[in-house]
Amino acid sequence: MSTPFQISFQAPTNDPIQQYLSIQGQSIYDIVMQTYQNPEMLLTLLKDNGFTYIPTGQIGVKYFIFDTRKVKNLPLVIYNFNTNTIYKTAFDDFNPELRDDYSYDLEDDGTISMRD
């Protein structure tokens, strides 16, 4: 069985930008913890990967880039990748504040606004 991760900290690289391949069932919150180990990096992860909204459901399989210079606990991230530890939480798709039948914009200052 192949690993779902597309990152190797063992290979020599000078590039701090790395890729992570999410797995089915992960939320954006799982992915920010998988890559940055810091929920405060959510907006950075979203912006760096072209999102203009905060996804409320499961992400599915998608490549994400992240900057290892901004990782809060790099040894833990390396350990998780090397041991194939996956962050995948159970969640309820219903969120009364962010609904799928409305459109939202992620503003430059980090706030979320609803489109008319």
Specify whether the CB–CB gap between 88 and 25 falls below 8 A.
yes
pTM above threshold 0.75:
no
The residue extents of the domains of the chain are 17-89+102-114
At 111 the pLDDT is 66
Rounded to 10 deg, the angle between the 28-35 and 74-82 helix axes is 110
Exposure string (b/e) for 30-57, b if CB count within 10 Å is 16 or more? bbbbbbbbeeebbbbbbeeeebeeebbe
Specify whether the CB–CB gap between 70 and 116 falls below 8 A.
no
At 73 the pLDDT is 83
At 2 the pLDDT is 41
pLDDT tens digits, one per residue of 49-104:
999 988 888 888 899 999 989 987 888 888 888 888 888 775 545 444 555 556 66
What is the rounded CA–CA span in Å between residue 55 and residue 58?
8
Q: How confident is the model at residue 1 (pLDDT cuts 50, 70, 90)?
A: very low
As a whole-number percent, the residues of the chain with pLDDT over 70 amount to 69
At 4 the pLDDT is 46
